[in-house]
Amino acid sequence: MSDKCKKVYITTPIYYVNDVPHIGHAYTTIIADTLARYSRLVGHIDDVFFLTGTDEHGQKIEQAAKARGKSPQEYADEISGRFKELWDEFEISYDKFIRTTDEDHMRGVQKAFEVMYNNGDIYKDVYRGHYCVSCETFFPETQLIDNEFCPECGRSTTMVEEESYFFRLSKYQDKLLEWYENNPECILPKSKRNEVINFVKNGLEDLSITRTSFDWGVKLPESINDPKHVMYVWLDALMNYVTALGYGNDEKLMDFWPAKVHLIGKDILRFHAIYWPAFLMSLGLELPKHIAAHGWWTRNGEKMSKSKGNVVNPKEISDAYGLENFRYFMLREVPFGQDGDFSQKALIDRINSDLGNDLGNLLNRIIGMSGKYFDFNVKSDGVKTYHSTELEEVESILSNIEEYLYEIQTNRYLEELWKTLRIANKAIDTGMPWAKMKEGKEDEAMATIALVANILAKVAVLLHPFMPKTTQKIASAIGFEINTESYNKIIKNNELLGDFKIEKIPPLFPRIEEQQLLETSTQKSETVKEEKKVKMEENKKQNENESGANLITIDQFFQTQLKVGTVVEAEEVPKSKKLLKLQVDLGEEKPRQIIAGIKEWYSPEDLKGTQVCVVANLKPAKLMGMLSEGMLLAAKDDDGLCLIRPEKSRKPGSSIG
């Protein structure tokens, strides 16, 4: 390993129970599982601890449970159970599945609060800050646009006041910068480290870490004697990484700390790379070795959203194409840290090309030739004589391959591994065992077959953490078992297999000729359907109660001017995650500028040249300092947002009504 600590502690984030597992959850968990399996393979069987679990507290969970007529605990039990069930079906090799509703976790969180409070790092005050209703988020004034507008959606914020306990985050600004400087691999990929450093250099404000506006959370320790407060969900959640090891309880597993790798999505990097190490400094605990942030997955080039019906259900993909094929694709397709695109075509190409042609066909050729020429009995004693060059090339490639894995460059790891398969295939094409047999050069033919079998053995061992069942089949066909002993012999010491017997097995990767799932499948979860049902019931009751109170007259309706417009230009708004700036032709002298909060669902390329419906007589307003001269009509529900568009193209400026 890149650092030589004996204990290997690997974590996923704990997944928030506001939805069922999707492809992003599966991606993170499969990476962590691969790292854990590799660590056990290389000899750390009793010194690996792999943690995953669910984050179950907070106002949104409380509200979601109430909407379903359930207690927060019942709702959390249901969704958490779905995560655990999927990971068990996927044979994820976790050592502990933690829940933030576990009693020992909550005790550990309370212990941490007490320690930080006694250290003078927590104090009570009144939170005065800007609140964005749309984003349901507080923002310090330093993050606002023009001292007023939300940095996420561009809408005006509201000043609020609330009693809160604060963590002295500002106290740790210089210590954090020193940590980043002295540990260049503490944040992976390294480009993300620069983003965090720049954010911290701009100044850190103390962090509000309790709430009084809801009750579903961890209460403060009894020693504080302030029962109306519950802890901020991120303080509660982040502490899982040490409470899972017994912090604040028996602490019997704390020798696994610090974590070797925290795997997370890029959207929660700030919490893990700023808040978490600051909390640890306050507690006097060591900091993690690596915080690794991966990108998001799109589908066929589009951002996934429930409204588009393009969310990838990992269980459906696994059932259709095979779990281990799915694992290989996820870990091979995209460089870690970058956004990746999922399509069935890309998955099929990987299965047919990488797995079928390069790996599976190579094994089939060896099985066929060994059976035809040598009755499946293979000897390696001539490999070094006839193929020393190929052996040296393979050993050179594999000598540093581990570095890619612990830097979470799984795609590079697999790329390097596949180079050895190309060497093996080339050795057959140039060595031509069939020709050697005709020439009476049986030793040379045997040496080529043995070379390729030994390369396949090396590949099977190093691919094992990625595809454990498939590689055991390959190992069985070649006549050995994959374990720490064979790793040491075949990989670490570069020994050859010796005399062995090849076993004939069915093809591992039958060719896939067509997509196994319809692209039109919405793949929506049962939870989403349930949410819609609850929402419909709520709306029905609301309409019954209002009894016409919100009805308007026909004259009032016609005061609104609705027109068809053509989007002639579209671009992203800098520093905003939600806004797009559009130029819309409404049949007037010049296009109108409209600032629309639709970036989460549409890209500029999706909109150029398309038609939209516009509220044309809306009073102009400024968003992030830019004039917006209208509003787009859209439908929005729990599944997201979609624009209202004319069924057929109409002349810009055409009236709607």
Annotated ligand binding at 150? The verdict is yes
Q: Pull the structure tokens for residue 271.
A: 């919490």
pLDDT of 13 over the 50 cut: yes
Packed helices 23-39 and 72-89: angle between N→C axes, nearest 10 degrees: 60
2 pLDDT tier (thresholds 50, 70, 90): very low
Instruction: Kindly report, residue by residue over 338-351, the tens digit of the pLDDT.
Output: 999 999 999 999 99
Size of the chain, expressed as the number of residues it contains: 657
What residues contact 319, with CB distance under 8 A and at least 6 apart?
none
Percent of the chain's residues with pLDDT above 70: 91
- 343-501 folds as Isoleucyl-tRNA Synthetase; Domain 1 (1.10.730)
Tell me the C-alpha to C-alpha distance, in Å, between residue 577 and each of 23, 152, 163, 182: 22, 5, 30, 32
| CA distance readout (Å), 210 to 207, 230, 234, 283, 403 | 9, 5, 10, 18, 41
**So where are the chain's domains?**
8-121+168-294, 343-501, 551-656
Tokens 């419906």 map to which residue? 613
Asked whether residue 527 carries a pLDDT value surpassing 60, the answer given is no
| Residue 507 reports pLDDT greater than 60 | yes
Give residue-wise pLDDT tens across range 546-589.
Answer: 444 456 665 566 678 899 999 999 999 887 878 999 999 998 98
- Write out the DSSP string of 532-569: HHHHHHHHHHHHHHHTTTT---HHHHTTS-EEEEEEEE
Strand partners, 459: none
Report cis status (omega within 30 of 0) of the bond before 189. Answer: yes
Q: Long-range contacts of range 227-231, CB-CB < 8 Å, 24 or more positions apart?
A: 229/163, 229/164, 229/165, 230/57, 231/109, 231/113
CATH of domain 551-656: 2.40.50.140
pLDDT of residue 557: 66
Mean pLDDT of 346-374: 97
In this prediction, residue 147 has a pLDDT band, given cuts at 50, 70 and 90, of confident
d(CA 508, CA 359): 9
Strand order across the beta sheet in which 122-132 lies: 137-139, 122-132, 158-167, 207-208
CB of 366 closer than 8 Å to CB of 452: yes
What average pLDDT does this structure show over 27-50?
93
Which pLDDT does position 300 carry in this prediction? 73
pLDDT at 120: 97
Q: What is the pLDDT of residue 623?
A: 81
Residue 5 labeled ligand binder: no
pLDDT in tens, 466-489: 999 999 999 999 999 999 999 999
pLDDT-wise least confident of 4-8, 190-194, 414-418: 4-8
Cross-strand partners of 8: 48
Look-up of token digits 């080339």: 426
Q: What is the pLDDT of residue 217?
A: 95
pLDDT at 229: 95
* Whole-number pLDDT of residue 566: 94
* pLDDT score of 540 more than 60: no
Is 642 annotated to bind ligand?
A: no
According to the model, what pLDDT value does residue 64 have? 87
Is 135 marked as binding a ligand? yes
Mean pLDDT of 141-155: 80
The confidence score (pLDDT) of residue 604 equals: 87
Predicted pLDDT at 545: 44
Task: State the pLDDT confidence band at 134, using cuts at 50, 70 and 90.
Answer: low
Give 518's contacts (C-beta < 8 A, 6+ positions apart).
none
Kindly report the average pLDDT of the chain as a whole number.
Answer: 89
Give the pLDDT band (50/70/90) at residue 143: confident
| Joined tokens for residue 524 | 């929506």
Assigned fold of 8-121+168-294:
Rossmann fold (3.40.50)
- Other CB atoms within a 10 A radius of the CB of residue 639 amount to 18
- For residue 439, pLDDT beyond 60: yes
